[in-house]
Amino acid sequence: MKEKLAQVFVWLIIMAMSAGCGVYSFTGASIDPNVKTFTVHFISNQAPLVVPSLSQTMTDGLRNKFLTNTNLNLIDNGGDLEFSGSIVNYAITPVAVQANETAALNRLTIAVNIEFVNHQNEKQNWTSTFSRYADYNSSSDITSIQDQLIKEITDQITEDIFNKAVVNW
């Protein structure tokens, strides 16, 4: 009987402790309960070198990040959280120059300027530039690996934007 009572007691303690974690998120997001919607406006491409699909890839990546990692609903305009911006840099530069003055690696860098507006708490509004890069072998043809590199970089940038907007570290 005492053993059964002890098991029930332990079970009640575990239940009580887990009930206090109702606002925890595996993504680390801390979103005000009043925030129900978000809007990601089309991210235009203002970079000197334009890749036609990059704007759509960046816009879709940011939308998908919030759809899959929050309970917020995506709406076209006027979301509680609103993102807008532009791609300001897309550049390929040589890195790791060898003795024969050729580059062993090239670096693809993408930078995005994002404006974030929190209509529920305007103290959290910001404008920031996010930049990430990926290195690749200079003997590779950029057109054959460009989509893969863009996906890798946009995933990193959208993670950075998500963290700055809703993860309070």
Considering the domain boundaries, does residue 3 fall inside one?
no
- CA–CA separation, 152 vs 137, rounded Å? 16
Q: What does the pLDDT read at residue 100? A: 66
Could you write out the three-class secondary structure of 71-132?
CCEECCCCCCEEEEEEEEEEEEEEEEECCCCCEEEEEEEEEEEEEEEECCCHHHCEEEEEEE
Burial grade of 58 (CB within 10 A; 0-12, 13-18, 19 or more) = buried
Q: Are 116 and 158 in contact (CB under 8 A)?
A: no
For 55, residues 6+ apart whose C-beta sits below 8 A from its C-beta are 42, 43, 44, 45, 87
Whole-structure pTM value: 0.80
- CA–CA separation, 122 vs 124, rounded Å? 5
Considering the domain boundaries, does residue 102 fall inside one?
yes
Give the range of the structural domain holding residue 108, as residue numbers without chain letter: 31-166
Considering the domain boundaries, does residue 106 fall inside one?
yes
Domain with residue 41: its CATH number is 3.30.160.150
Considering the domain boundaries, does residue 160 fall inside one?
yes
Considering the domain boundaries, does residue 124 fall inside one?
yes
Domain count, the chain: 1
Each residue's pLDDT, cut to its tens digit, for the chain (169 residues) gives 555 555 545 444 444 444 344 333 445 677 889 999 999 999 999 999 999 999 999 999 999 999 999 999 999 999 999 999 999 999 999 887 766 667 789 999 999 999 999 999 999 999 999 999 999 988 888 889 999 999 999 999 999 999 999 986 4
Considering the domain boundaries, does residue 47 fall inside one?
yes
Considering the domain boundaries, does residue 5 fall inside one?
no
Considering the domain boundaries, does residue 118 fall inside one?
yes
Burial grade of 169 (CB within 10 A; 0-12, 13-18, 19 or more) = exposed
- CA–CA separation, 19 vs 93, rounded Å? 52
Which residues on adjacent β-strands are paired with residue 111?
89, 131
Q: Are 157 and 112 in contact (CB under 8 A)?
A: yes
